[in-house]
Amino acid sequence: MDVYTEWCGPCVGMVGSLKKIKLELGGDNLHLAVCKSDTINALTRFRNKSEPVWLFASHGKIVNLMFGTNVPKLMKIITEELELDAKYRKGEAERVFYEINELLPEEIERLNAKKKVEEEIQKAEEAEAKRQRREYLTHVTDEIKAHITDIGCTIFMPNIGRDIYKKLGDPADKFELTAKERKITNIPKEHREILFLDCPNPIDEKVLDYVLKKDVIINAWKLAEGETRTPEDILKEFVGLMTNKQAILDDGGNPIPDAFEKELLEPFTVPGTDVKVPGAWTPHNRTTNAAIIYLYFRSFTELFLPPDPIPEPPHLCCIFDAYKKREITELYHEYSKDVLALGYFSSGDPDNHELLAKNMEKYNDRKPAPTDKLVIKLAKVNSNAVLAFNDLGPCYISQNAVDGLHECAKFFPKGYIQEDEEEEEGGEGSTSGKKKKKRKKKKGSIVPGAEGATEGPDGEPLEGVEEESSSTSGSPEKQSNEGDEVKVEEETHKRKPSKQGG
């Protein structure tokens, strides 16, 4: 049985070989059926796949299968199955039968291999995303540590009431601390990785789970002028004074044995558990302190740290033969938000190529070469976009977003911009279907799909983006590709026949 999906069709290339083996060997014992999986529920697992599938059936059950178009292999399997079936009928051999909707061992093996590859890809992409995130966090915390040297942070837990919080003035005065800013918030799970960046004394996970949906008070303390110690050292003593029992001293200033003052900030034990929530917490290193400032006190960093950049989505590198530019352009309009960059290159080799053009019209001005490639930086977020471009038959597409990141970086380095606008094909009334009018070059147009982009790969303005006005706006543009004069009416946007063209 030749199992196919409707958009692909049956494997007609194998028909000749099948007819030949039927005449030479199979006879009435061999029959060929074509099965459209789109309309057969038992064959659902084969839908929307272009790879040929051959199922071998006997006695109403499946006995074997083969993937692909390997003619010698298919002929060998048919020969073996006919011989085995003949022996089975005589009771000389045993056969294993499968239901038509049941996975065969080869299918299970392929699925497991595919799953393993997908898991490896996911792990690699997650590891790369984590590396990039870590790299960025290291950068911002280093900047904060370099610019803010006299501010430290403490976190007061939910079990600390406002009346107790108001009593912190005396301990703060003792260390000459000034409350620069206070924030009442909660600590979501996504903040934990940043909050405890390189932290030697992180808060216990069970405590964080308890306070997950509860408000905590985060204080930013400013040190006194001329203080030589670090904020972390001072706040460590400050929190210790409030959370640890302090010995009671006698008149001579000596500690009285077994006599302690009650902690100002007592720990709280969660009922029914052994979880102890401390009254307050402060980091013991500068990096974690900088991470808290980055998360909760961004007003302190406005002068030296720009807002977080919008992260670039995971993307793939798609390489097409340049002669497919029309099909790619048509598909671009449907998925323009997913195309992050586009360009024409002398080859598809990331390490050895030359940029030819950044849009179709500029490329059309060149003499094409058989090796020319159209390269697209395609976001992986929208699976429909990836499938659509994949259906156009790329020469190459990245296996995963990690490969795509490195490959696209070579084709589209940082700062890659689209310098020239494209030409627009002539409208109704033009003297030649090939005539085009040239638009004014506009500085600052960047790659399609990127922030601020004003045009697609065929030079048409993106929907909802207004072009900049020009001092020449409204004046007639002249000269078509053949050198004819063409007058463009602004209101009608149609070309009138030129004097030369009649």
First to last CA, the chain: 64
Residue 482 in this model has a pLDDT that exceeds 60: no
Is the Cβ–Cβ distance between 377 and 341 less than 8 Å?
A: yes
Q: From CA 235, how far away is CA 151, in angstroms rounded?
A: 10
**What values do phi and psi take at 54, rounded to 5?**
-115, 120
Count of beta carbons in the 10 Å neighbourhood of residue 28:
6
Could you say which of 3.10.129.10, 3.30.70.141, 3.40.640.10, 3.40.228.10 is the CATH number of the domain covering 129-301?
3.30.70.141
C-alpha distances in Å from residue 282, one per residue of 156, 265, 278:
9, 14, 11
Nearest of 185, 181, 179, 136 to residue 305 by alpha carbon: 136
Question: In this prediction, what percent of the chain has a pLDDT beyond 70?
Answer: 79
DSSP annotation of 9 reads -
Residues 277-328 pLDDT 10s? 998 999 999 999 999 999 999 999 999 999 888 888 999 999 999 999 999 9
Residues 333-377 pLDDT 10s? 899 899 999 999 999 999 999 999 998 889 999 899 999 999 999
Q: What is the mean pLDDT of residues 143-156?
A: 95
Nearest of 317, 322, 393 to residue 363 by alpha carbon: 322
Nearest of 342, 359, 368, 335 to residue 458 by alpha carbon: 359
Least confident of 157-166, 200-209, 457-466: 457-466
Fold of 2-102: Glutaredoxin (3.40.30)
Can you give the C-alpha Rg of the chain in angstroms? 36
Beta strands in 93-245 (DSSP E): 151-156, 178-185, 216-222
CATH 3.30.70.141 domain locations along the chain: 129-301
Q: From CA 364, how far away is CA 370, in angstroms rounded?
A: 14
Q: How confident is the model at residue 184 (pLDDT cuts 50, 70, 90)?
A: very high
C-alpha 165 chain-centroid distance: 44
CATH 3.40.30 domain locations along the chain: 2-102
